[in-house]
Amino acid sequence: MGRMKTLDGQRMRDVISAEQMRALEGDAIASGRMSGKLLMEGAGLAVTQAILAKWPEFSGGEGSVVILAGPGNNGGDGYVIARLLRERGLSVEVFSMGDPKRLPPDALANFQQLGDVSRPLTEAPHALGRADLVIDALFGIGLTRGLSDDVRDVFGTMGPSARKVAVDVPSGWDADGAVVLGKAAFPADLVVTFHAPKPAHAEIARQGADVIVADIGL
């Protein structure tokens, strides 16, 4: 049984839907209080902090990390996390699903800031087999259908000792429906979501993952 708790011990907000989350983000941006880029930076920092809190052994810059980045803003969070973990001395390899040049603006900016060449997901298995930490930034609240078999097969190449972290929602889960669409989902040990839990998070915790709810300033 995994635990669901807030990153900084604050009171847990009530469950909200993906739609409500998008509305909160939209309002914060429309009001000028926040920007998409700031929200993405905050999301990436929260995941980084939650990783180092759960596995302090990564704080010393030891360890190999693989990040799987998707075609949207969940992928954007992944590029922020890649930069933040590299700044902490970890060796981070990033594999992208889709063409990064077609990323939404905030995610594209973070991909470009990394300065990496884009490496497709199909090249990930070799690195995944020896990774100490794998981060699923493929899909979050924007998942609309089940994962393809080749994505499921990539998940199967992770080594037994890899710590597995999902950004916002483990890819494959419908955040609102609290079910896995299709046949596969990323087998997360730790899930870091933002602002408030979504309907899927209680079931994800019940199935064994630790779920951290992090404030991102909304």
Ligand X SMILES: NC(=O)C1=CN([C@@H]2O[C@H](COP(=O)(O)OP(=O)(O)OC[C@H]3O[C@@H](n4cnc5c(N)ncnc54)[C@H](O)[C@@H]3O)[C@@H](O)[C@H]2O)[C@H](O)CC1
Binding-site ranges for ligand X (CB under 6 A): 21-22, 25, 39-40, 43, 70-77, 104, 139-145, 147, 167-168, 194, 216
136 binds, among K ion, ligand X, none (CB under 5 to 8 A by kind): K ion
Give least dist CB 31 to K ion, A. Answer: 27
Task: Examine residue 180 and tell whether it contacts K ion (CB under 5 A).
Answer: no
- If one asks whether residue 166 binds K ion (CB under 5 A), the answer comes out as yes
The entry of ligand X, K ion, none that residue 39 binds, CB within 5 to 8 Å by partner kind:
ligand X
8-67 residues near K ion, rule: CB under 5 A = none
Size of the residue set binding K ion (CB under 5 A)? 5
Q: Which of ligand X, K ion, none does residue 77 bind to, with CB < 5 to 8 Å depending on kind?
A: ligand X
Please give the full DSSP string across the chain, using - where no structure is assigned. Answer: ---EEETTSPPPPPP--HHHHHHHHHHHHHTTS--HHHHHHHHHHHHHHHHHHH-GGGGGS-SEEEEEE-SSHHHHHHHHHHHHHHHTT-EEEEEESS-GGGS-HHHHHHHHHHTPPP-BGGGHHHHHHT-SEEEEES-STT--SPPPHHHHHHHTTS-TT-EEEEESS-TTEETTTTEESSS-----SEEEEESS--HHHHHHHHTT-EEEEE----
110 is in an annotated binding site: no
Q: Is 171 in the site for K ion (CB under 5 A)?
A: yes
Residue 176 is assigned to a ligand binding site? no
Binding residues for (6S)-NADPHX: 73-77, 140-146, 168
What are the binding residues? Answer: 73-77, 136, 140-146, 168, 171
Name the site residues for K ion (rule: CB under 5 A).
136, 140, 166-167, 171
